[in-house]
Amino acid sequence: MIFLNFIKTTLAISALTLSTTILTSIANANSDVEVMHWWTSGGEAAAIKVLQKDLASKDVNWKDMPVAGGGGSDAMTVLRARITAGNPPTAAQMLGFDITDWAKSTGKLGNLNAVAEKEDWDKVVPAALQKFSKYEGKWIAAPVNVHSSNWVWVNKKALDDAGGKAPTTWEELLTVLDKMKANGITPLAHGGQPWQDATLFDAVVLSMGDDFYKKAMIDLDPETLGGETMVKAFERMAALRSYVDDNFSGRDWSLASSMVIEGKAGMQMMGDWAKGEFIKADKKPGEDFVCIRFPGTQGAVTFNSDQFVMFDVGDQSEAQMKMASAVMNPVFQSAFNVVKGSAPARTDVPNDAFDDCGKKAMADLAEASKNNRLFGSMAHGHAVPASIKNAIYDVVTAHFNGEFDSKTAAEELEAAVFASK
């Protein structure tokens, strides 16, 4: 009898232990967030750790799913496979029209209205961002930052050796690039990938005038796309190509940043995520590098915003809400964007912790928004849907690689956009 009671007690304890283990596992699973993103460079990885640590303090475990590729196209391919297989991640990094396209095509995005209404996101997130954060009145994404793409990052010593004056016009830019070439360094660090070519093209088109950018990259006006001013824009692209080294094909953007950081190149024309690479390398604005707007675009901003889109994953909704709240917390927005190189997605974040380039980014963004000079970046999915963006990519890259002359490129651009609508 004593033996039987011992067996019963042992079995009861085992059952209780097993139940506790199962419940703990379920609880842990429900507090996990599997996040797909393409932030894999040094500066980006450092920024991600800020969010991971913040979530850990709220008992949310970040399960990392990085997919390398600065433009995010590879990540979207992987995501599509996951969605098709019925196995979406908890959250995924997305940009612009990709967000609304996913909302329209899948209907499987999460609803963040509960946390958004509680924390008054409508009052602190600019309307230009909300256009992509919401779908049919429902918050489906939490914006983590605002990047602007019409920046030039210049090695300070290389600039000093070239005369010391930062260029403000197209003619001054060419003069500085010529001097850098004469000094024996690569004037323009660039990576030969379509999205990088398009980033350069964005800035060049904007330098031709606000109205021209809007008509060409947002309104897709046929006469503007194929007209004489567009031919001149392509001629400027061809001029910039002459300052790029021969080994640029396939180079990642962060490696181009390293060329400038190390003084092997004079400047890079890239969005402000590049600043994260300079900060990661312990470089300081004004001392080691200079940040300027692409000559001719001062006062205007082409923007994109990294947002975390939440998927409908049932029992993980509580962890999603915690993640969304953490992303939108003003303290986190400051800490993250200081490291990332971008501006906060909230308008009420103070600029105290930001360096001079960060303060300039925030001031430029506010000025551009006030003066109606804030434009969605074509290159980064905030001006036109992906199908049109990719058609523009193809023409721009073909021209940059010498397949078209500038007049033909303008004609091809008009035709490609028309065909992709």
The pLDDT of 111-119, averaged and rounded, is 95
The tokens for 199 are 């980033």
What is d(CA 147, CA 253) in angstroms, rounded to the nearest whole number?
Answer: 15
Total count of domains within the chain: 2
Do 384 and 326 lie in a common domain? Answer: no
Characterize the bridge pairing of strands 134-135 and 138-139: antiparallel
Query: Across residues 186-213, what is the average pLDDT?
Result: 98
| 136: exposed, middle or buried (Cβ count in 10 Å: 0-12, 13-18, 19+) | exposed
User: Tokens 């890079």 belong to which residue?
Assistant: 268
The rounded mean pLDDT for the chain is 90
User: With 50 as the cut, is the pLDDT of residue 415 above it?
Assistant: yes
Q: 218 with 125, same domain? A: no
User: Is residue 383 within 8 Å of 375, Cβ to Cβ?
Assistant: yes
Condensed to tens digits (0 to 9), the pLDDT of residues 324-366 reads 999 999 999 999 999 889 999 999 999 999 999 999 999 999 9
**pLDDT confidence of 29, banded at 50, 70, 90?**
very low
- The answer to whether residues 245 and 197 belong to one domain is yes
Model confidence over 127-137: pLDDT tens digits? 889 999 999 99
* Mean local confidence (pLDDT), 315-331: 88
Residue 315 confidence class, pLDDT cut points 50, 70, 90: low
Tell whether 263 and 288 lie within a shared domain. Answer: yes
- CATH number of the domain where residue 243 is located: 3.40.190.10
Position 91 pLDDT exceeds 70:
yes
What domain range includes position 41? 35-147+304-360
Residues 124 and 202 in one domain: no
- Record the pTM: 0.85
Confidence of residue 313 (pLDDT cuts 50, 70, 90): confident
- pLDDT one-digit tens code per residue, 251-275: 999 999 999 999 999 999 999 999 9
- Within this chain, do residues 188 and 278 fall inside the same structural domain, yes or no? yes
